[in-house]
Structure 1
Amino acid sequence: MKSQWRLAGVVLAGALLVTGCGGGGAAATGGKVDLSFWDWDPNMDQVVAIWNTAHPDIHVTLTNPAGGDQLVAKMVTAHQAGNGPDLAKVEYQSLPSLVSNGVVADISQYTADTVRQFDEPTLRSTRFDGKVYGVPQDVAPLMLFYRKDIFQQYGIEVPTTWQDYATAAATLHQKAPAVSMTNFDAADPGWFTGLMQQAGADWWSASGDTWRVDINGSASKKVADYWQKLVADGLVAKNPSFSPQWNKQMNDGSLATWISGAWAPAQLGGIAPATKGKWAVAPLPAWSPGDRATGIWGGSATTVTADAKHPAEAAQFASWLNTDAEAITAQIRQINIYPAATAGRSLPVLSSPPAFFPDQANFYDLVKGVAPTARSFSMWGPNVTVTFSGYTDRFAAALQSGGSFGAALDAVQSSTVADMKKLGFAVS
């Protein structure tokens, strides 16, 4: 991992130079510092207001220009124009490309104490070449969300292995043909990469200056073949998540489970309002009995950009946002995050279940037990957007035509490697 960014060294060195020469803060200038913060979380303004009240000399102005990949594109464009924000929320998989393009800054010198409040698996997503490029905000271990009323009605036990899950799906299809076990989402690769991670896949790795890409390796093919059989047997629906049709199916009981991140309770109220109290959560089914490993779907960090005029104060806010008990509690209440900070997972606010799961008192105990076993890839590649676009194109085509999911993985592998070589990366 030591040198995977060397090929982007010119732009990265420029970013580090900006960081090293960043202007002093309120203490140095004797004046008020104004920081701009790009973030798409609903109700984040209420959390920022807590900071602004307690820190009159460092004011944070929040804007929501876009979310996810759209925000990343806006960050790159703003950086090229020299007018990026001071801080920005960045999903973990997007961070490597922003590092290699010099958009986000190394904040190691400001976060020596901060990083002690996170476990190593969490920090791995924000630290490259020993440098810190963001403060983790949340983690999103994959969990199994299931309709307990449907399971009870049709005598289905909560599956603990993927074989159990396939058996339950077949039983449900036989007893209630109009109800699918879940859907296969070819439009959003987040859940599927999480399943690959759980199975032990590692899509990107690096040794010295050379990358290795293993998107179509044996672990990935195992997952793809498993889901292809569920699709071929008519046990899962084919429509994408978060579509109007999917929302309707989730609300009317046409779908019995949802494989999602720990953030799911924050979404279910808008997706399926009629189902409050009907859902429960369990650990993700395992490939081998007793294996507690899971993957992740989502998770983000608060980054300081290379354009920040006051990087020390920006890093101070990023640290407060993601380690201060009051700030984390507010985010749990207002945004429904599951905190990345280790101590944050034991806050009193998590002693009560999410509002949409009023009868599952152990909701957060289950998530807390799973979180340490959640694995991501050892690193995300420098062209994740190309990989994800390949997934949506190839898997959507295979889903509709009955084509091979394994062949779709082969195509994603080829397009990812070709793009990395075009960008100048050495790929074995």
Structure 2
Amino acid sequence: MKKTTKFAAAFVAGLTALSMAACGAPGAPSGSGDGSKQVNNDASANDNATCQNTIKKKGVEKVTLWAWYPSIEKMVDQFNEAHDDVQVCWTRAGSGQTQYEKITTAIKAGSGLADVVQIEYDVLSQYVAGAEKHLVDLNQFGADKIKDDYTEGAWKSVSLGSDDSVYAVPVDLGPYVMMYRKDIFDKYGVKVPTTWDEYEQAGKELREKGFTGHIGNYEPSGNGSNIALLAQKGASVYDYSASDPENVGIDFESDDAKQVMEYWQRLAKEDVVTTDDAYTTEWYKSIVDGSYATAVCASWLVGNLRDISGADANADWKVTTAPVWDDSTPQVNFGGSSLAVTDQAKHTEAAAKVAMEFFASDDIQETAVTEAALFPTWTKKLESDEFMNMTDSFYGDQKINQVIVPVAKAYKGYDFLPFQPYAYDEQTKVFTDIVRNGANVDSKLASLDKTLRDYATQQGFTVKN
């Protein structure tokens, strides 16, 4: 019981400042806390549930859903129109952290949680850490039979390294690519870089030839982006598996991790790149107004770029693969989310049906891609001629998916900790000190490593390496 309580504390500390009671919170349904076995069978429990969408088929079982995808209400309507046996009752419970806080509150209370919830990959492990599992193992409902319908990396993200369990169904990915201003590179006669060595050289050449901006930006607060950059070099800084839930791996002291941070520290010191915080208004503005010649990021930024105000009307944007270290550099990913069934689902089997079938639809996939700018993990869509040959006028009618799809298919997946938000916060502090203040890379990474190891131990985990 003592260790279980610590795992619960780690889970909450990672998401919010809330504290969680010991396992088996008051009011929780029988069996709550072991999502691998939790099965509820009350098909009428949601009859009076309040929905933000209009349920048109009356007298049909409802499954509640919390999700914040763009155009989600339209996709819910499409699902409901195609199903006579179940209807989705959708609520926007907030996006990202706001929804996660509501999930945490409902878990603490033992009630009030939706049947199905949208969860990002780097948050998923927090809900299945240790003995308390608040997500249902979907293999008991046949999820193992749809594994081959999804990319390898996406499936690893929802199976959490387990060969026997899967805790969500993948929805989208963020394959790591590079957007670049062809007009800027052409104007100054600089070759578009394909390696990180070339990226550094191109950045210097652009400045030497009169470009007043920078080749790009390194974001010390980039969280998942930094995990991708480290993974490119072979640095697996986090290690966690649902098959071994009491153990975690943390390794920021590898030579690979040090080389990555030394690289970005050097580029920042030499003013080859800026080190602005990501996802601020100023950051977006700098991407579209010509301050940056490239943006190395996830594919979801490719879709979002066209909607950012203040864009340079004369910009000639193109998409290519992200720079690599050498021929052995793996393809990486930043972001993506899934649909998971909670242990508070009123009718678990119906909820599993919704999670597994919602995005396995040509119509919903079309909406997800064209209106919500989601990059699919469902291989039927991913590999279709229509998707591969889509052109994008923002990128000069380039068939950008012919660049991005091979990255998505080659991505093998990587791990996140059950207290990933805490790890991100500490990671950001250290990376900021390294690139903005010139702090010693070896000592700062050693300090980060120790901080995270100590925290893991305090929360009841055993650090493996």
Q: Structure 2 length normalisation: TM-score? A: 0.83
Please state whether the residue corresponding to 2:178 is helix, strand or coil: strand
> Which range moves more in the overlay, 188-197 or 395-404?
395-404
Please state whether the residue corresponding to 2:391 is helix, strand or coil: coil
- Of residues 103, 107, 121, the one that matches 1:92 is 121
- 2:180/2:295 contact within 8 Å kept: yes
- 1:250/1:272 contact within 8 Å kept: no
In the aligned structure 2, how far is the partner of 1:251 from the partner of 1:233? 23
* Pair 1:412 & 2:440 matched: no
How big is the shift at 1:177?
A: 4.8
In the aligned structure 1, how far is the partner of 2:272 from the partner of 2:35? 55
How big is the shift at 1:385?
A: 1.0
Please state whether the residue corresponding to 2:174 is helix, strand or coil: coil
Query: Structure 1, unaligned stretches of length 5 or more?
Result: none
Partner AA of 1:426 in structure 2: T
Please state whether the residue corresponding to 1:90 is helix, strand or coil: strand
Please state whether the residue corresponding to 1:132 is helix, strand or coil: coil
- Of residues 217, 220, 232, the one that matches 1:183 is 217
Q: Which residue of 2 aligns with 1:77?
A: 105
User: What do the CA deviations read for 1:55-84 (whole angstroms, capped 9, x no partner)?
Assistant: 244221222222223322321111222111
How many equivalent residue pairs?
420
Q: Do the aligned partners of residues 403 and 166 (structure 1) sit closer, same or farther apart at CA in structure 2, a change above 3 Å counting? A: same
Partner AA of 2:148 in structure 1: R
In the aligned structure 2, how far is the partner of 1:354 from the partner of 1:89? 28
How big is the shift at 1:157?
A: 1.4
Q: Which residue of 1 aligns with 2:170?
A: 136
In the aligned structure 2, how far is the partner of 1:102 from the partner of 1:373? 30
Please state whether the residue corresponding to 2:377 is helix, strand or coil: coil
- 1:204/1:213 contact within 8 Å kept: yes
- Of residues 431, 452, 456, the one that matches 1:395 is 431
In the aligned structure 1, how far is the partner of 2:433 from the partner of 2:189? 35
User: What do the CA deviations read for 1:74-119 (whole angstroms, capped 9, x no partner)?
Assistant: 2111122211111111111111111125332211122233223124
In the aligned structure 2, how far is the partner of 1:37 from the partner of 1:286? 40
Q: Which residue of 1 aligns with 2:159?
A: 127
How big is the shift at 1:144?
A: 0.9
| Sequence identity (%) | 25
User: What do the CA deviations read for 1:193-228 (whole angstroms, capped 9, x no partner)?
Assistant: 111111111123369654331133222111111111
In the aligned structure 1, how far is the partner of 2:410 from the partner of 2:391? 21
In the aligned structure 1, how far is the partner of 2:6 from the partner of 2:145? 31
> Which range moves more in the overlay, 172-181 or 134-143?
172-181
* Pair 1:106 & 2:144 matched: no
Partner AA of 2:323 in structure 1: P
- Of residues 323, 348, 351, the one that matches 2:389 is 351
In the aligned structure 1, how far is the partner of 2:92 from the partner of 2:310? 26
Please state whether the residue corresponding to 1:124 is helix, strand or coil: helix
Q: Which residue of 1 aligns with 2:262?
A: 225
Partner AA of 2:120 in structure 1: E
Q: Which residue of 1 aligns with 2:55?
A: none
Please state whether the residue corresponding to 2:394 is helix, strand or coil: coil
Q: Which residue of 2 aligns with 1:383?
A: 419
How big is the shift at 1:418?
A: 1.3
- 1:250/1:271 contact within 8 Å kept: no
Please state whether the residue corresponding to 1:260 is helix, strand or coil: strand
Partner AA of 1:416 in structure 2: L
How big is the shift at 1:48?
A: 1.1
Higher helix proportion: 1
> Which range moves more in the overlay, 8-17 or 352-361?
8-17
In the aligned structure 1, how far is the partner of 2:309 from the partner of 2:182? 15
- 2:181/2:316 contact within 8 Å kept: yes
Q: Do the aligned partners of residues 405 and 190 (structure 1) sit closer, same or farther apart at CA in structure 2, a change above 3 Å counting? A: farther
Please state whether the residue corresponding to 2:133 is helix, strand or coil: coil
How big is the shift at 1:396?
A: 2.6
How big is the shift at 1:165?
A: 0.7
* Pair 1:147 & 2:184 matched: no
The 5 Å alignment of 1:7-406 reads 14-16=32-34, 20-23=38-41, 25=43, 32-81=60-109, 82-100=111-129, 101-110=132-141, 111-128=143-160, 129=162, 130-205=164-239, 210-271=247-308, 274-275=311-312, 278-288=316-326, 290-291=327-328, 293-347=330-384, 348-361=386-399, 363-377=400-414, 379-406=415-442
Please state whether the residue corresponding to 1:376 is helix, strand or coil: coil
User: What do the CA deviations read for 1:109-149 (whole angstroms, capped 9, x no partner)?
Assistant: 22233223124332111114421100001121110111111
Q: Do the aligned partners of residues 302 and 210 (structure 1) sit closer, same or farther apart at CA in structure 2, a change above 3 Å counting? A: closer
- 1:87/1:304 contact within 8 Å kept: yes
Q: Do the aligned partners of residues 381 and 243 (structure 1) sit closer, same or farther apart at CA in structure 2, a change above 3 Å counting? A: same
Partner AA of 2:341 in structure 1: V
Query: Structure 2, unaligned stretches of length 5 or more?
Result: 9-21, 25-30, 48-57
Q: Do the aligned partners of residues 356 and 89 (structure 1) sit closer, same or farther apart at CA in structure 2, a change above 3 Å counting? A: farther
Q: Do the aligned partners of residues 358 and 89 (structure 1) sit closer, same or farther apart at CA in structure 2, a change above 3 Å counting? A: farther
- 2:156/2:412 contact within 8 Å kept: no
In the aligned structure 2, how far is the partner of 1:194 from the partner of 1:331? 24
